[in-house]
Structure 1
């Protein structure tokens, strides 16, 4: 069974939640208004889920390098309070 936590509390306790997942073997479900948003699972759990028969066509991103370049929408930096952005060499 997974531990449920509201998103506002999860934001404040992220490091502790990561430790619970990695070292305690727990699964954490982050909720908003009582409805599940996301689940935190260990990398080993994710690998098992993805390799299970009938796991479907979709797969989680394996690494940040799999993301590629994705430009931000106009005004999103100000909306989310992002103070810096990654720019490739020469860009």
Structure 2
């Protein structure tokens, strides 16, 4: 759980808050009117959060790539090219 502090108090105690984050391994949430405004986290903590975000984004991309690669080619219904005035035809590479 993070330590919460109002922004007015955080201004006066910034050096102490930085020490709590860096040396006390804490997270500090600065609030305004009781609502979270910003968070102070150590550089190491931020690095871990960013690495996790990158892993999640890569996993999401892999899921998209996997689902797209499962989609096969679909042949046009007979006569559709003429109906829509399509003159070109798709040919597989090497065909």
**1:54 equivalent in structure 2:** 56
Alignment of 1:1-91 (within 5 A): 1-52=1-52, 53-54=55-56
Partner of residue 65, structure 2: none
Contact 1:26–1:41 (8 Å) recurs in 2: yes
Alpha carbons of structure 1 residues 6 and 51: separation in structure 2 relative to 1, 3 Å: same
Normalising by the residue count of structure 2, what TM-score does the alignment of the two structures yield? 0.56
Displacement after TM superposition at 1:38 (Å): 0.3
Alpha carbon RMSD of aligned pairs, Å? 1.5
Q: How many residue pairs are counted as aligned between the two chains?
A: 56
The 3 A distance-change label for structure 1 pair 42 and 55 is: farther
SS across alignment from 1:26: coil
Give how far 1:55 is off: 6.0
Separation in 1, partners of 2:47, 2:20: 18
Would the alpha carbon gap of residues 55 and 20 (structure 1) be closer, same or farther in structure 2, given more than 3 Å must change?
Answer: farther
Length-normalised TM-score, structure 1: 0.59
Task: Give the SS at the match of 1:24.
Answer: coil
Structure 2: how far apart are the matches of 1:55 and 1:26? 27
Asked which structure has the greater CA Rg, the reply is 2
